[in-house]
Amino acid sequence: MSAERQAAGSLVVGICGGSCSGKSSLAHAVLERLEHSAARLCFDSYYRPLRHMNKARRDRQNFDHPDSLDHELFIEQLDTLRGGRAVQEPVYDFANHDRLARSRRVEPAELVLVDGILLMAWPEIVRRLHLSIFVDAPEEMRLSRRILRDVSERGRDEGSVRRQFAETVAPMHARYVQPAAGVAGRVVAGDADLEQLADSLALELRERLRG
């Protein structure tokens, strides 16, 4: 991190959007294109641990409500990174709805990119973002992507994914996620060309970091 940027704090970029809207893919693609020092905090890593519940109760929890996320720890660690110190990001086990014993060390950087479905549900997080982006994807696209992900990566069956989407994901998206489109500094289409979008955003961030 340059002396100038260290004195000013990191440039913080937030990418928000519905579940499986493409925000994580965009974040990853942008980071691949940056030559500058960059770090990423994934808000999905900060789900609250549910080890005090049995498996049946865990599976019934509403993971799309803001209360499911430990936003206090996220803000604390984001501020620590902005202040030039490393943090230990939690590692979350989505199959069992619990944090693992290990963590992921994230080093401070000139740019900190944060992403998550409910990232902009808290004004105190929004205030920390120098640039905020909302990825707006149609519901049908988000559902089809979620089925593919949860079946292949999280051991779910398609019926349970569809039920969860109808019962909690879609209603919580309308109530807590989609309003972020009106808060974000920029809205991009979830079905846009990922490579072009990442190229454009990476170019803008290089200019900001040089400035």
Measure the CA–CA gap between 52 and 58, rounded to whole angstroms: 9
Please determine, for residue 1, whether its predicted confidence score (pLDDT) is greater than 70: no
CATH number, domain of 98, equals: 3.40.50.300
Q: How many CB atoms lie within 10 A of CB 73?
A: 15
CA–chain centroid gap for 117, Å, is: 6
Domain of residue 149: give its range.
3-210
d(CA 173, CA 194): 22
Give per-residue pLDDT as tens, 140-168: 999 999 999 988 888 788 998 999 999 99
- Arithmetic mean of pLDDT over the chain: 91
Q: Are 25 and 194 in contact (CB under 8 A)?
A: yes
Identify the residue with better confidence: 156 or 186. Answer: 186
> Would you state the pLDDT for residue 97?
83
Percent of the chain, pLDDT > 70?
A: 96
Which residue matches tokens 């973002």?
A: 129
Total domain count for the chain? Answer: 1
- The reported pLDDT for the residue numbered 2 is 39
In this predicted model, what pLDDT tens digit does every residue of 34-71 receive, in sequence order?
A: 977 899 999 999 999 888 888 777 777 888 999 999 99
pTM over 0.85: yes
With contact defined as beta carbons under 8 Å apart, do 113 and 167 qualify?
Answer: no
* Amino acid at site 162: R
Q: Which residues touch 96 (CB under 8 Å, ≥6 apart)?
A: 55, 58
